[in-house]
Amino acid sequence: MTNSMSNVEFVKALIIQHVRPHVIDIIDQHQIGFEVDQNEIHLLLLALKNAGWIQMSYLSAIDWPGENKFEVVYVLFNWDKPVYVQLRTKIDRTNPVIDSIIQIYPGAKYYERECHEFFGIAFPGNPDHHKQLILEQWDDIPPLRKDFDPKAYSDRKFPQRTYTEDYSLSNSESTKVEKRKLRKQRAESLKGGKKQ
Amino acid sequence: MTIVNVLLGVGVAFFGFVLQTSIAGINRKVIARLQKRQGPRWYQEFLDIFKLLSKRSVSHGWIFDFGVIMALGGIIATAMFMPLTSTFSPFGASDNFFIFVYLLAVGMLGMAMSASGSGNPWASIGVMRALTTMLAYEVPFLVVVLTIIKLTGSSSLSAIQLFQQTSGNNWFIIALPIGGIVGFLALMGMLGKKPFETYIAPGEIASGPMVEYGGKQLGMLFIMHEITVFIEVSLFVHLFLGGAHNILEFLLKYFVVYTFANLISNVNGRFKIDQVVKFYYKWPLIMAVFQAVIAIYFGWVI
Amino acid sequence: MANIEILLLVLAIAAIVSYFLTKLNTMLGSIFTIFATMFVFVSLAAYGTNLNLDTTVSLFPGLTFSQTYLGFYFVIIITFVYLMVSFFHPYYIGEYKYKDSYNFLFLLSLVGIIGAFYTSNFLQLFFFFELVIWTTMFLIPQGKSKEAAVSYYGFSVAGSIAMLLGIFIIFQQSGTFDISTGLAALSGTPSVFVFALFLIAAFAKLGVFPLHIWLPIAHGNAPHPFSPVLSGALVKLGAFIGVLALIRIAPQTAMINAVGLPIGQYIVALLGSVSIVFGTLMAIKEDDAKKLLAYSSMSHGGYILVAFSLMNSIAFAGGFYHILAHALASAGAFLAIAAVARQTGTTKMSELGGMIHKMPITYLAYLVAIISMAGIPPMGGFISKWLIFQAVIDKGMIFVGIAVFFGSIGSFLYVFRPLAALFLGQELSEYKVKVKEAPLLMLIPTVIIMLLNVYTGVFPGAILGYTNKVIMELGYPAINVSTFAITGFNGVLSPALISLMFGVGVAIAFVIFIVLKKSRKVGLMDTYTAGNFVHDEHLFHYTKDFYAPLERLYEKHSTKMQTFYKSLANKVKELGRLGKHLFMSKYVEVAVVWIIAIIFFLLWGEIL
Amino acid sequence: MKSTKFSLATKLSKAEVDRKWWEIGDFFRRNSLWMLMYCTGCCAIELPPAMTSAYDMERLGMGPMATPRQADILLVSGYLSLKTLRRLIYTYEQMSEPRYVVALGSCPINGGIYHDSHAVINQLDQYIPVDVYVAGCMPNTESVMNGFVDLMGQIKNKQANGWKKYHENFDWYKANQITSLGEVDVHDEFHE
């Protein structure tokens, strides 16, 4: 137990050694999160990779329209010291640009393309970041932004079925009672034997 | 050779088609009962084939169609030589064993050509697997047949039947028991039954050579397949089970052999392709050679 | 009356003329070559068939000629292949480095071949053999590599030296260089040594195990129109020597009672079997279409050897028929590949695809050739394989039987691969525009060979009648052949009936096909892709490692023979270095001492 | 000389002969329906009981097939995302005619619980003709089987004409496909 906890402490020490994070979240013994500045991301990633966090588990973003910010999240994992490290940074929402990390983690190539596709964040340094990956021939604003309305998109693009009649039942309770009565009558009528 | 012989031959091919299609349908029913299902009607295979013939298919160029015609033509030609009983053979003594093995290959070649001509890689992979499987099962089978021909002194199927019937109904599956087992294993491979069903493999390579066929081409290939099965099972009946005196005996033996193969098939999984080759070149080949050596050089025949 | 001597002289002069004509204009020289070969072929066919050639010698008193059915059978097949190939020259010669000499050497090698089969003297036989080897040795490097010529020459020379030794021993024993009396004197005696030496020559020329290594190298790298000659014609010289050794000499050795064969013959049959299996396995693995056909030649060489070592007429008939069938089949296949190679510039199967849409006639020629090669009715290869099977089964030879069956089923595999990879499959974009059907002059021989392949399969009676004459000349009884039926040991084969029934079957299938609803034409790329969109043909064309699951089972062992020969070559090189060190040192005296020592050593034997 | 007893049937016109042949073909077609299971969504879970010994689809002559060329029915089991719809249309166009479409679940009918998603379409019959809808989320196995029996009845009564409609209204279908999907084909690095 203490050993695993010391892993988290180790990461914390490592990060503080380089930068001063805005927020430090120790979620549990296997997860820790830091919120840092945009220009510190590459330095920290490099430091973490050298310290053994060789697996780039995930890269994505969160839309904060109220703050007019995108929060880019990097999740790393170390196979020797089992700790997930989250690095978060907030970038400008009107012109979202953050440098690519494929020089540090080549595997981030497709995560960055996905992120660009769903949020519209540009990753200069990744030669393919603007190419389509999952959404084929998308022609609207990136769909995971909060200001994108899927219902409106669906109504605009996909024909809706129109119903001429309304099939929903009104005053369902009374019918239920009547039905129960009818069923009882029928059961009575089927009863054999001597009628009273 | 007169026109009557040709008509008889065509009749045998047609008989083979009807027989095998019905028996395949009955076998579907048998297998269904084995799995506690009701199963289709016994004539379901006919419905399937005629439905396919009634549909409008696609064609990938002339070789795609030509190969199908060549396949069905080659198989019909092969079936025309097949004797049904020891006395009835459409072309008399021309029912040479090697005709069946090699004329069958014309049909296979036609189908392989047409499948590859469709331009679908799965078809080519299926053909590759079919040919590899063929390389595996043919050699042990031919060694056993070599023994039989050497013992009977004739490669004519009618003569081989007569030899077994005249020497006190001593069938070769009893006279050469090890060879009989090898023959049956080879038959399973020929029919493409389950442990050796590597080249159809619907879930793996999308039914292999047949991937691009639909409509009448597929229907014709189904007819071809039924006649091919007829030829292969009849070969086994004639070579190992003493042929038949009359048509009823033939039907009975045919049904037993095919159903037995089908039952074995339904409780087995599928081999990988190199496992098939390894399998046949291990025990069946050793057994076939052992049987041939003791039968030919030592004369030990039961 | 045509005189063989005049014929050879005319051909030799024609060779020289063609040299100058080719220097002037390649087209002119090549067309002249076609006519020269055609002249030789026609005069041989017209006069040689019934042995009506004039064999008297007036101009060159040293030479002696005689004619036999055996020699004629070989010479007419080989000349025919030469004639067919010469039609290809006008389109290929322009590409070669030494184009002036190509036609010259080509005709000169034909002189050697005709001489070799018509001569009646062992020394002349050797001379003509060497003529063939030397001329063809300079033809091969015009293709891709010079090393091919070296390896071809090395093995050929090993063979001819073995033969020369054999000839000397025959001379020592019988006192004559005359072929027929020399062989007759040996026949039936326990002269295993000559037998073995002649067989080494036969193995080397035929390219069967264990002297096969040159075959794929030479066939694969020879000029495209010369590969059919190598495979269809020149290896048959080895078969000829094999016939001399196995049938004419046939030494008396211990019998193996179980199969009723002398031990020498049985060993040859086993070696032939190894050759069949080895050639088949290597052919299945090969990616280059020409090398694949070369390995198939090796396997078919094995069939020929097995046939000639079985000591009965049916097997001999099968062997002789196989020589013809394989010559036609391999010439047809190689010519088709050559036509494709001219259009696309490659023979690698992994780089080709969909040629059928542009070259349908070449495709048909190849198809017919491979059907014959795989021994499937209704083509010639089936007849010969059937005869060989009859003989093998009658002898009860199980292990040879395994090899023979394996080779015949395996041949389905390797002949199908070029068909699928090269002609069928997706039409690759790089060949869609520029590839056309081969020109008319190249189609003529292709179609002729195609028709002959069918003819040999449907009506073998006439040709088997001729091989009967050859067999009777060799002192064995003729086999029972009528126009429509061949009778073997354990069955009757009627090829015409099979072909007719095949026709009936195809007619029925065609009727079924035509009465049903017409299908909708779609493109090749509109295939089942598990629902996904694929726009690139290369991703959709299955050619590389075609038989991968099968190859995996034996690929570890497939290079053993090659490494053996490589290490042998290294040993020879080391020996050469030793000789160089001894003789070519700085001091002349050392070399002189060694030379004197060797002379003394040689004379020692003579004096004693 | 004409027999008085049997008079020859009046000569049928070509259209009538064709119709007779078509009816014979319909008999075979409805008794041997082969499915291509495009397991797009969760309703696919209803198929294993339909095929195995509980309901035994094979007794109706039905069975699964590997490729669209061989199949008669395109079975759409569940919701269709945009990416799947492209492939579905491509597959539908590869099938041999006559071809039928059976759609399971409420998603292909009106979008079901995904009616407001940007990635799932709402109504399948706008893009390809659907012969039988089986409603329910998900439909139970009896109703799936009932849907197939309905299809057989439709074939018998010549009402299963979806594939003909597709030809007749090809432009309309194409226009709908293009509004929702853009080009049906996809050209990018993964498909070249």
| Cα–Cα–Cα angle for B93, B96, B100, rounded to 5 degrees | 135
C-alpha distances (whole Å) from D128 to each of D80, D170, D179 are 12, 9, 14
Looking at every residue in chain B, the average pLDDT score rounds to: 86
Segment A15-25 mean pLDDT: 84
Instruction: Report the share of chain C in percent with pLDDT over 70.
Output: 99
Q: Do B57 and D28 touch (CB under 8 A)?
A: no
* Local confidence band at D8 (pLDDT 50, 70, 90 cut-offs): low
Given this model, what pLDDT does residue B21 score?
92
Specify the DSSP element, H or E, that contains C602: helix C588-607
Distance from CA of A117 to the nearest CA of D (A): 14
**What residues in D contact C517, CB-CB < 8 Å?**
none
Choose the mutation target among B37, B207, B212 for the interface with D, i.e. most D CBs under 10 Å.
B37
CA-nearest of B144, B151, B171 to B300 is B151
For residue D83, give the chain A residue with the closest CA.
A136
Cα C180 from Cα C170, distance rounded (Å)? 11
Task: Tell me which residue in D86, D94, D192 faces C526 most closely, judged by beta carbons.
Answer: D94
Q: Do B40 and D61 touch (CB under 8 A)?
A: yes
Cα C455 from Cα C400, distance rounded (Å)? 29
Please report the number of interchain residue pairs, chain B to chain C, with beta-carbon separation below 8 angstroms: 251
pLDDT digits (tens, 9 = 90+) for A27-66: 888 888 888 888 888 888 888 888 888 888 899 999 888 8
Q: Do B155 and C490 touch (CB under 8 A)?
A: yes
pLDDT digits (tens, 9 = 90+) for C56-66: 777 777 778 88
CATH topology of domain A2-157: Beta Polymerase; domain 2 (3.30.460)
Query: What backbone phi and psi angles, to 5 degrees, belong to B130?
Result: -60, -45
- ipTM > 0.90, yes or no: no
pLDDT digits (tens, 9 = 90+) for B178-208: 888 999 999 998 888 888 888 777 677 777 7
**What residues in B contact C374, CB-CB < 8 Å?**
105, 109
Distance from CA of A9 to the nearest CA of D (A): 43
Please tell me if residue B239 touches chain C, with a CB cutoff of 8 Å: no
For residue B202, give the chain D residue with the closest CA.
D66
pLDDT digits (tens, 9 = 90+) for C208-261: 877 777 888 888 788 888 888 888 788 888 888 888 877 777 777 777 777 777
Which of B254-268, C491-505, D31-45: highest mean pLDDT?
Answer: B254-268
Task: Tell me which residue in D68, D86, D192 faces C536 most closely, judged by beta carbons.
Answer: D192
pLDDT digits (tens, 9 = 90+) for D138-185: 888 999 999 999 999 999 888 888 888 998 998 999 888 888 888 878
Is the predicted pLDDT of residue B25 greater than 50, yes or no? yes
Cα B49 from Cα B47, distance rounded (Å)? 6
Given this model, what pLDDT does residue A1 score?
46
Does B230 or A167 have the greater pLDDT score?
B230
Segment A105-118 mean pLDDT: 88
Given this model, what pLDDT does residue C390 score?
85
Extract the tokens encoding B160.
């081989």
pLDDT digits (tens, 9 = 90+) for B148-175: 888 888 888 888 888 888 866 678 888 8
Segment C77-95 mean pLDDT: 84
Please tell me if residue C273 touches chain B, with a CB cutoff of 8 Å: no
Is the predicted pLDDT of residue C485 greater than 60, yes or no? yes
CA-nearest of C364, C346, C71, C402 to B66 is C364
The 3 state secondary structure assigned to chain A is CHHHHHHHHHHHHHHHHHCCCCEEEEEECCEEEEEECHHHHHHHHHHHHHCCCCEEEEEEEEEECCCCEEEEEEEEECCCCCCEEEEEEEEECCCCECCCCCCCCCCHHHHHHHHHHHHCCECCCCCCCCCCCCCCCCCCCCCCCCCCCHHHHHHHHCCCCCCCCCCCCCCHHHHHHHHHHHHHHHHHHHCCCCCC
Please report the number of interchain residue pairs, chain C to chain D, with beta-carbon separation below 8 angstroms: 25
The residue whose two tokens read 């999952």 is: A134
Task: Tell me which residue in B58, B98, B143 faces C519 most closely, judged by beta carbons.
Answer: B58
Cα C403 from Cα C423, distance rounded (Å)? 29
Specify the pairing of strand C480-481 against strand C261-262. unpaired
* Local confidence band at A4 (pLDDT 50, 70, 90 cut-offs): low
Domain range summary for chain B, segments of one domain joined by +: 3-297
CB count within 10 Å of CB B29 equals 18
Is the predicted pLDDT of residue C607 greater than 60, yes or no? no
Q: Domains along chain D?
A: 16-180 (3.40.50.12280)
Q: Do D28 and B39 touch (CB under 8 A)?
A: no
Q: Do D189 and A153 touch (CB under 8 A)?
A: no
Please report the number of interchain residue pairs, chain B to chain D, with beta-carbon separation below 8 angstroms: 87
Given this model, what pLDDT does residue B301 score?
74
pLDDT digits (tens, 9 = 90+) for B96-147: 888 888 888 888 888 888 888 888 888 888 888 888 888 888 889 988 988 8
Given this model, what pLDDT does residue A31 score?
87
Q: Do C528 and B120 touch (CB under 8 A)?
A: yes
Which residues are A55's β-sheet partners?
A: A77
Name the burial class of residue A166, with classes exposed (0-12), middle (13-18) and buried (19+) by CB atoms within 10 angstroms of its CB: exposed
Cα C291 from Cα C219, distance rounded (Å)? 6
Hey, which chains touch C, using 3+ CB pairs under 8 Å? Answer: B, D
* Local confidence band at C381 (pLDDT 50, 70, 90 cut-offs): confident
| Cα–Cα–Cα angle for C410, C541, C514, rounded to 5 degrees | 80
Given this model, what pLDDT does residue A172 score?
59
**What residues in B contact D56, CB-CB < 8 Å?**
32, 37-39
Looking at every residue in chain C, the average pLDDT score rounds to: 83
Interface of D with B in 24-63 (CB under 8 A): 24-25, 28-29, 31-32, 34, 52-53, 56, 58-61
Q: Do D38 and C536 touch (CB under 8 A)?
A: no
Is the predicted pLDDT of residue C378 greater than 60, yes or no? yes
Please tell me if residue A110 touches chain D, with a CB cutoff of 8 Å: no
Q: Do D186 and A137 touch (CB under 8 A)?
A: yes
CB count within 10 Å of CB C451 equals 13
pLDDT digits (tens, 9 = 90+) for C391-433: 888 888 888 888 888 988 888 888 888 888 888 888 887 877 7
Extract the tokens encoding B278.
């390894």
**What residues in B contact D67, CB-CB < 8 Å?**
206-207, 210-212, 214
Contact between A22 and A39 under an 8 Å Cβ cutoff? The reply is no
* Local confidence band at B230 (pLDDT 50, 70, 90 cut-offs): very high
Q: Do chains C and D touch (3 or more CB pairs under 8 A)?
A: yes
Distance from CA of D82 to the nearest CA of A (A): 8
Least confident of A165-169, B83-87, B196-200: A165-169
Contact between B227 and B79 under an 8 Å Cβ cutoff? The reply is yes
Q: Do B98 and C507 touch (CB under 8 A)?
A: no
pLDDT digits (tens, 9 = 90+) for D108-118: 888 888 888 88
The residue whose two tokens read 């369902």 is: A172
Segment D109-133 mean pLDDT: 87
Q: Do C519 and B56 touch (CB under 8 A)?
A: yes
Please tell me if residue C508 touches chain B, with a CB cutoff of 8 Å: yes
* Local confidence band at B260 (pLDDT 50, 70, 90 cut-offs): very high
Q: Do D94 and B58 touch (CB under 8 A)?
A: yes
Q: Do C531 and D88 touch (CB under 8 A)?
A: yes
For residue C534, give the chain D residue with the closest CA.
D191
Task: Tell me which residue in D109, D121, D182 faces A139 most closely, judged by beta carbons.
Answer: D182
The residue whose two tokens read 């050509």 is: B113
Contact between C332 and C450 under an 8 Å Cβ cutoff? The reply is yes
